Amino acid sequence: MKKNNKNRDLTIYVVLRILVIATIVIQSIRGNYENVFLGALTLVLFTIPTIIDRKLNIKLPNALEIIILLFIFSAEILGEIQNFYGIFPFWDTMLHTINGFLCAAIGFSLIDILNQRKEFHLQMSPIFVALVAFCFSMTIGVLWEFFEFGADTFFKTDMQKDRISTSISSVLINENNENVPIKLNNIESEIIKYTENGKIIELKINGGHLDIGLKDTMKDLLVNFIGAVVFSIIGLLYIKNRDEYRFAENFIPTIKDD
């Protein structure tokens, strides 16, 4: 059984790398050098599990390692290069949910490892360990949103995906300059005027107004919250009964035995 699992894992590793290399070659031929960079970055990120294993002496469960590789491939190759973020509205939501789950598992393992070491005298309660795992996951989620905001601000990307909204509530459109929000519903279109090469250009947004990433950011944090809560509960149950909830070990890194 273990041999079959190893063969399966090796097959996944090889197939993913072949797909990434093929993507790099195709994008090079097309002259899309930004995508070539993303492909090269993906290959670098694929080495993270190996670095963690060899340099930090931390053992990643095979299931967790495969999920990490699939996550990187789904985010960079499928999401960015193949535009799955635009084709499938749920793609970004799915990845952020998984990210919340995985980061909670990593945060949980950091505390659980210390909790089991004899030289670490402070024994933490299961609820505290689960809370730390949750907070660790949410912190990583917030830092990632900071990164997206920074990229959009300084490099004019669109990592915080803009959305079309049909309603707005704002004090900025209050003609009396009062601190009372004006509510607009059923917005049908929006006209954007901007200057390019000395010419004023009008761009019409149909179906509503352009939301500049706020809803996307809050949605990402919300689903990260859900993923973090799910694993925190699993981790809490695992600490209380490790035999009954042994499946959680598939997601929890551990320190290698000397």
pLDDT at residue number 122: 60
Confidence of residue 117 (pLDDT cuts 50, 70, 90): low
Confidence of residue 258 (pLDDT cuts 50, 70, 90): low
| Residue 126: pLDDT over 80 | yes
| Residue 119: pLDDT over 70 | no
The tokens describing 221, both together, are 């944090």
Mean pLDDT, rounded, of the chain: 90
pLDDT at residue number 3: 62
Task: Express each pLDDT in 147-184 by its tens digit.
Answer: 999 989 998 888 888 889 999 999 999 999 999 999 99
Q: How far is CA 67 from CA 75, 79, 92, 117, in A?
A: 12, 16, 16, 28
Task: Express each pLDDT in 195-227 by its tens digit.
Answer: 998 899 999 999 999 888 889 999 999 999 999
pLDDT at residue number 120: 62
The tokens describing 50, both together, are 């190996």
pLDDT at residue number 14: 94
CB neighbours of residue 19 within 10 Å = 15
Question: What does the CA dihedral 33, 26, 82, 31 come to, rounded to 10 degrees?
Answer: 30
| Residue 118: pLDDT over 80 | no
Confidence of residue 248 (pLDDT cuts 50, 70, 90): very high
Q: What is the domain partition of the chain in residue ranges?
A: 1-88, 90-161+212-258, 163-210
Provide mean pLDDT across the span 41-70. Answer: 90
The tokens describing 11, both together, are 């097959």
| Residue 121: pLDDT over 70 | no
Alpha helices in the chain (DSSP H): 2-30, 33-45, 48-55, 62-73, 84-87, 91-116, 126-154, 214-240
Task: Express each pLDDT in 132-152 by its tens digit.
Answer: 999 999 999 999 999 999 989
pLDDT at residue number 125: 85
Task: Express each pLDDT in 70-101 by its tens digit.
Answer: 999 999 999 999 999 989 989 999 999 999 99
pLDDT at residue number 54: 85
